[in-house]
Amino acid sequence: MAEIEIKNLHKSFGEFVAVKNSNLIIENKEFFVLLGPSGCGKTTTLRMIAGLELPTSGNIYLDKEDVGYLRASQRDIAFVFQLFALYPHMNVRNNLAFPLKMQKLSRSEVDAKVLEAAKLLRIDHLLKSKVSSLAGGDRQRVALGRALVRRPKAFLMDEPLGTLDAEFRELMCLELRKLHDDIDATTVYVTHDQQEAMSMADRIAVMNEGVVLQADSPKVIYNKPKTKFVANFIGSPGMNFIPIKEKISPSQSSIKLLDSSLNIPEQKEGTDSNENFLGVRPENLKLVSENGVKGNVFGVEYLGSRKILTIETQLGNIKIRVDSDTQVNINEQIQFDTLNNNQIIFDGSNDKALQSEFMS
Amino acid sequence: MDTSRSPLEATGFSRKLAATIIIVYMIVTLIPITWMVATSFKSVDSAISYPPEVFFEPSLEGYVNLFTNRSRQPKDYLDSLPPPDTWYEELVRSREMVITGPSKFLPRYSNSLIIGFGATFFSVFLGSLAAYALSRFKVPLKDDLLFFILSTRMFPPIAVAVPIFIMYRKLGLGDTHVGMIILYTVVNLSLSVWLLKGFMDEIPREYEEAAMIDGYSRMQAFFKVVLPQATTGIAATAIFCMIFSWNEYAFAVLLTQFNAQTAPPFIPTIIGEGGLDWPAIGAGTTLFLIPVMIFTVVLRKHLLRGITFGAVRK
């Protein structure tokens, strides 16, 4: 298995820049997820690692070997496509054996490896089936089988669960993660679905507009986002951003909000700008009976285990997560306050999070 | 009202109407073919009798005449010969003739087979390579190139007969199999490139990408993964190319004479005693129909899908 390192990787298609000078290190045996909205460059990055696109500039190292400009066939990696790309004119066995046929193995070796992969994925009873007769989940397993049958250095997966229905997707998430652990693989997984990313990844890289904004564990990405984009993109709903009209200075530990003041974690950095943002996650706010920020209930979303309230306030619309048995009506006047002291201040000039007691 | 039927299904009346139209159309198209096949089994006299004979005594005279050259001999010479060994010799003797040798039909027919299948093979092979390239790669001036390829069929090919005739004479390609295969391939290529490009566009790139990641070169991926999925398109294209090359008459008359003459210019020149030998012509035409018919029937199931392919999203 392998370590993948991306150095100053850049890709442009004519005028359009898909990936901007990105750097990443994907460690051996890591389940690494590239997450971002469509068009953010995550698939292009993956395709460059695979060798399906050549970088405009920069390098890709696979186990310290520069493979950035080699052919896909010379890289010893496997790729699982969103639409599986199973060869419809071959049965399951031949689909699985296809990557092995280039490796000059004897027939019995090929058969043994195919059977081993099929057993691992519990599709050994389907070997003689036609691909077109398989259900979505089984097709997915065949696609995975074709990827792992020759034990490549790394697995690259491009939204492999995208076409499965929701119920099945959760099951496959678990299976994929288990498979990854069982065979000690290094996996790079592309998705736009944060739930998939959070549930499977060792580390997530959030990308937007061709730039890697942050690469960290799911917990760090969620709790300590380094930019406003990451804070908003991760979590459903995303983080609340409350405009603050004051300059932040280092060691500051409270801010003015409307008429009152709010304690914040002690800041370690300041801003030049007077327009900054206070970031609070919806679950870090609570309803209070007095001394809180006043607002009107604008919307209530019932989500089973919880409710998301949208509150109209002088500070803009703010979302709060409450227990689902909390009784609130639309247009009701309510007050709310922060639950704990883990707010993040974002610099209004560049949307970056400031270092603070909490962030470090 | 019958509610068990889906409103999208045809009603009894429109089904009957459709069946009627198909039957009428079938009769109209089949009458000449039936007449031709019937003529091939008539005797020379019966073929030209008036009023035409719908019911007649079948004879293989046409087929015998098609495959042999004969000469008329005086009765006493015929009597001096040993008795005929075969049924066809007997048939010829009864017309007071002897077989002098095989006719040129078989060589012409095999020329047709060689040139027809050869041109079809190259049209489809080269066409699929070009179609793949035009479908997948950034080719400079791609749209202009495609339009140019199409424009070669905007005039009837025979319009360029004179330059081709001169060119072929200079190059020594006149009356050769290679020359005819090249000519028919070139004429068919535009159709083949355009048809196949449509099919190639429909095949997701992921297939060849998967194969290339699995260690195959692009060429290997093309042959092992892309082509097998284009069989429908290839079959449909092959039928069209085959029908053209098989039936082509004008260039064959112009460019072939002895060595590479195909069946179409040969068949109408079968002359019997005192005029055209209609049963032999009928026999030649009937035999001429068979390969293209078999070819079409074999590839038939692809053809229908091929023609409607891409018209409806899957």
- Read off the pLDDT of residues A310-333 as tens digits, 9 standing for 90 and up: 999 988 899 999 998 988 899 999
Smallest Cβ distance to B228: which of A72, A82, A89?
A: A89
Strands A333-338 and A293-302: what pairing? antiparallel
**Is B209 in contact with A77 (Cβ distance < 8 A)?**
no
pLDDT on residue B74: 87
Smallest Cβ distance to B229: which of A71, A79, A88?
A: A88
pLDDT on residue B311: 44
Strands A333-338 and A344-346: what pairing? unpaired
Per-residue pLDDT for A309 more than 80?
yes
Mutate to test the interface with A, among B207, B214, B223 (most CBs of A within 10 A): B214
Smallest Cα–Cα separation from A225: which of A280, A286, A266? Answer: A280
**Is B216 in contact with A87 (Cβ distance < 8 A)?**
no
Structure tokens that stand for A7 in this block: 């150095």
Please state the domain extents for chain B.
44-103, 106-308
Residue B176 is classified by DSSP as: -
Mutate to test the interface with B, among A44, A73, A83, A163 (most CBs of B within 10 A): A73
Which residues contact residue A307 at a Cβ distance below 8 angstroms, ignoring those fewer than 6 apart? Answer: A300, A301, A321, A322, A323, A324, A326, A328
Q: A85 CB near a chain B CB, below 8 Å?
A: yes
Chain A CB contacts of B213 under 8 Å are 50-52, 72-73, 75, 77-79
For residues A171 and A191, give the distance between their C-alpha atoms in angstroms, rounded to a whole number: 16
C-beta of residue B136 within 8 angstroms of C-beta of residue B200: yes
Give the total residue count for chain B.
314
Smallest Cβ distance to B216: which of A73, A81, A82?
A: A73
Please give, rounded to a whole number of angstroms, the shortest distance from the CA of A77 to a CA of chain B. 7
pLDDT on residue B52: 84
**Is B213 in contact with A79 (Cβ distance < 8 A)?**
yes
pLDDT on residue B307: 54
CB atoms closer than 10 angstroms to residue A354:
20
For residues B104 and A154, give the distance between their C-alpha atoms in angstroms, rounded to a whole number: 67
**Angle, to 10 degrees, between the axis of helix A166-182 and the axis of helix A136-148?**
20
CB atoms closer than 10 angstroms to residue B23:
10
* Three-class secondary structure assignment of B25-73: HHHHHHHHHHHHHHHHCCCHHHHCCCCCCCCCCCCCHHHHHHHEEEEEC
For residues A106 and A127, give the distance between their C-alpha atoms in angstroms, rounded to a whole number: 19
Structure tokens that stand for A327 in this block: 């009784």
**Angle, to 10 degrees, between the axis of helix B161-171 and the axis of helix B177-202?**
120
**Is A98 in contact with B217 (Cβ distance < 8 A)?**
no
Greater confidence, A212 or B10? Answer: A212
Closest chain A residue to the Cα of B218, Cα to Cα: A73
Q: B223 CB near a chain A CB, below 8 Å?
A: no
For residues B129 and B141, give the distance between their C-alpha atoms in angstroms, rounded to a whole number: 18
Closest chain A residue to the Cα of B226, Cα to Cα: A87
Q: A79 CB near a chain B CB, below 8 Å?
A: yes
For residues A157 and B3, give the distance between their C-alpha atoms in angstroms, rounded to a whole number: 49
For residues A84 and A164, give the distance between their C-alpha atoms in angstroms, rounded to a whole number: 11
pLDDT on residue B227: 92
Distance from chain centroid for Cα A140: 20
pLDDT on residue B301: 76
Strand partners, A157: A80, A189
Which residues contact residue B184 at a Cβ distance below 8 angstroms, ignoring those fewer than 6 apart? Answer: B115, B116, B119, B123, B241, B244, B245, B248, B251
For residues A63 and A46, give the distance between their C-alpha atoms in angstroms, rounded to a whole number: 16
CB atoms closer than 10 angstroms to residue A8:
12
Distance from chain centroid for Cα A82: 16
For residues A109 and A136, give the distance between their C-alpha atoms in angstroms, rounded to a whole number: 29
Strand partners, B97: B72
Chain position carrying tokens 């999925």: B229
Smallest Cβ distance to B217: which of A50, A51, A73?
A: A73
Per-residue pLDDT of chain B (314 residues; tens, 9 = 90+): 566 767 777 778 888 999 999 999 999 999 999 999 999 999 888 888 888 888 888 889 889 989 988 888 888 888 888 888 888 888 888 888 888 889 899 999 999 999 999 999 999 999 999 999 999 999 899 999 999 999 988 988 888 999 999 999 999 998 999 999 999 999 999 999 999 999 899 888 989 999 999 889 999 999 999 998 888 889 989 999 999 999 999 999 999 988 999 999 998 888 766 678 889 999 999 999 999 889 888 888 776 665 555 444 33
C-beta of residue A82 within 8 angstroms of C-beta of residue A159: yes
Closest chain A residue to the Cα of B229, Cα to Cα: A89
Give the CATH fold of the B106-308 domain: MetI-like fold (1.10.3720)
Closest chain A residue to the Cα of B231, Cα to Cα: A89
pLDDT on residue A9: 93
Percent of chain A with pLDDT over 70: 100
For residues B268 and B240, give the distance between their C-alpha atoms in angstroms, rounded to a whole number: 24
pTM assigned to the model? 0.81
Q: B213 CB near a chain A CB, below 8 Å?
A: yes
DSSP assignment of A12-32, as one string? EETTEEEEEEEEEEE-TT-EE
Report all structural domains of chain A as residue ranges with CATH numbers, in order of start. Answer: 4-228 (3.40.50.300), 229-346 (2.40.50.140)
* B18 class by beta-carbon count within 10 Å (0-12 exposed, 13-18 middle, 19+ buried): exposed
Q: B215 CB near a chain A CB, below 8 Å?
A: yes
| Sign of the alpha-carbon dihedral angle for A330, A331, A334, A337 | positive
Smallest Cα–Cα separation from A157: which of A190, A126, A179? Answer: A190
* A312 class by beta-carbon count within 10 Å (0-12 exposed, 13-18 middle, 19+ buried): middle
